[in-house]
Chains A and B, each alone.
Chain A
């Protein structure tokens, strides 16, 4: 029959690279290796830059590995193939009172992808990263070896593969410890704050009282209004509190076609950010959400990444250590505000101090900042280089899952375990990201 043409991309739709795709759907089978060239596992392509791409090489699409293996409804331990999505895990587990221990801001990621980027969520201050809850997995290497990895067995491969960017082998299946929840609803507050000092006070005060904490900052605020935003905090509702509530069925919204130019520009930005900040008039608003509206607001609009137009966009996420977090966050926000180039919203969150299990895990104690930039040419890249310099000076790091442009030096400085990590890289695995930042001169 007709062979479909596939064009894999990352979520930022930048860079665009030609590459082959082979699928894998039997976890007991050997890796589908081409006769030459490198391979890289590819989950749902929700990484933004080039860490899930392998230009000139081959991607091994893992979505065919989508079978559940076991689910213990008493203990909350679930085993699945690595291409199962977090959305599918929720669908199976939530009706039995279990939820993901840690979730990123989209549920359309695979289990393998969540492990390979050691993703974090709004409860990092409580639960650490996704990898903290992975009990074991099987790692399939290109020489055919299958390694059963856990914190106890093959612990070195376990640590290298969590946050290992798909470079250490292909995870075929994993066992995850889910988290007991009393309901599918969350209750909490949205609090308007006027600046960074207030943000850090609210963060400190909420860490103990609230499981989920995150903030949105109006990134065009400057001077008096610099660092103003909304602070969101929530806990899962008890069964009594949630009684009678129904999960809303989301409307199927989509951005059906690519607009010819980015819809995000200085004018739309100013209007949106001001409107967003002012949408709530009282300082504190009590709120109730269901799981989807709280954790995955962006998932409600399919293909929202198209609004940035055909050139695509860059997402930028960094973490700066606790010591100078206030001043460095301020310096970053000032630089972004001055440029007027940032996206709608900056996400700001204080990470907790639970150690990340991966050699290259991104989260560390400190403050993380994330935002989108439409690609407007060279200026955009120069702005990000200036931000990098501030982050490096503060001994922070940049998140590979969101990166398409950091320098090899920035990567090496941010990730001191890089040299140890290299020993675990599979000789047949490579990515555009790895070639860009990890290859030794």
Chain B
């Protein structure tokens, strides 16, 4: 049964991916900030079939603590089969535009922290000679847009780093997977139809779990057809992108 470590375990997509792994009887080491939310998720995963669930409260913007955290998770699980990096915030773009601190703060949580984790987890998995390292990026990282370029830049870093690591670590038997979701609906109102571009956190989470089971590596879009939308957007001339 797989041993799964999740950073940002209270994110909706991470939760759904975890439920999918729980059905197969996985063991978990979950990291997040909010104690009650984490305890609720742990209980939920146990009922859904998880073998065991350990939780750890941490502030993932504390970069110095991240290496230790990875080691703790590995020790608790006795090895890592899947590491999922799912934390991130949607920064206040307007505030960032006139504040260096706000921008660096956002990049710290969304880019530096996952990057630090990717390096350390990469090391652990390579030493093991197996495992999947999954990072949740976004289609927003494929092109800079006027309305969210700080968020987009943080995701661009993850995408490029993940893509490179996928090539590099593939040789050592480690699957690095970058997931780029499109518009994801909050689970709170997922029942209401909203149009074709919206996907539920549940479907994205299940796609991630399925990709991991198949041993995929590299970049996947969720749902897959965002690849084609983004292909068009990447080649669109600047005067169009400046308006979206």
A interface residue numbers (CB < 8 A to B): 1-2, 4-8, 21, 23-28, 44-45, 61, 63-64, 66-71, 78, 80, 92
Contact = CB atoms under 8 A, between A and B. Distances in A.
Interface string B85-98: 00000100000000
B191 A61 contact: yes
A92 B40 CA distance: 17
A67 B41 contact: yes
A6 B192 CA distance: 6
A365 to B, nearest CB: 35
A63 B189 contact: yes
B149 interface: no
A6 B47 contact: no
Nearest to B184: A1
A61 B189 contact: yes
B18 to A, nearest CB: 11
B188 interface: yes
A383 B191 CA distance: 33
28 contacts: A1-B90, A1-B148, A2-B183, A4-B183, A4-B189, A4-B195, A4-B198, A6-B194, A7-B193, A21-B192, A23-B186, A23-B187, A25-B187, A26-B37, A27-B40, A28-B36, A45-B191, A61-B188, A61-B191, A61-B192, A64-B187, A64-B189, A66-B187, A67-B41, A68-B43, A68-B48, A69-B47, A92-B47
Contacts of B191: 44-45, 61, 63
Contacts, number: 71
B44 interface: yes
Contacts of B189: 4, 6, 21, 23, 61, 63-64
What band does the interface of chain B fall in when counting residues whose beta carbon is under 8 Å from A? 20 to 34
A92 B45 CA distance: 11
A110 B151 CA distance: 36
A250 B185 CA distance: 26
Contact of B44 (A1, A45, A61, A69): A69
Nearest to A32: B188
Q: What 6 A-B pairs come out closest when comparing CB atoms?
A: A23-B188, A64-B188, A68-B47, A4-B194, A6-B192, A67-B44
Contacts of B41: 67
A223 B68 CA distance: 82
A5 B43 contact: no
A47 to B, nearest CB: 13
